[in-house]
Amino acid sequence: IGHSTSASGPFTDLGRPIVADAVYGSIDQSFFRDPKTGRNYLMWKRDSETPTQPSTPIYIQEVTQGADALVGERKVMIQDDQVWEQVPAGGLSNIEAPWMVYNNAT
């Protein structure tokens, strides 16, 4: 994670990962701030499409206001575990790049 007082930088590296999985990679992170509550969230994909782990979850977890540490427990937002999501060759499936947009619907 890079921190800066300006969107154009310069950035300072936090020096450690926020999300670290000893077995699988954690990729495609995206940040979301809830405009109603002011709470921050990090979403990411577990990089694990293999024949022994064919399903890939996308997680969400709250992060601190400084976005430099996780808060609470991660939750699975979505997982490609349906037959129609599988690639026929090899039976693997894949979902990519989580992104969240606020909808002000009532």
Q: In the prediction, which pLDDT does 44 show?
A: 92
Give pLDDT < 50 ranges for the chain.
Answer: none
The alpha carbon of residue 62 and the mean position of all alpha carbons in its chain are separated, in whole angstroms, by 11
Q: What is residue 4's predicted lDDT score, i.e. its pLDDT?
A: 87
Between vectors from CA 74 to CA 33 and to CA 104, what angle results, nearest 5°?
Answer: 30
Residues sharing a CB contact under 8 Å with residue 77, sequence separation 6 or more, in sequence order: 43, 57, 58, 59, 60, 98
The rounded distance, in Å, linking the Cα atoms of 75 and 34 is 16
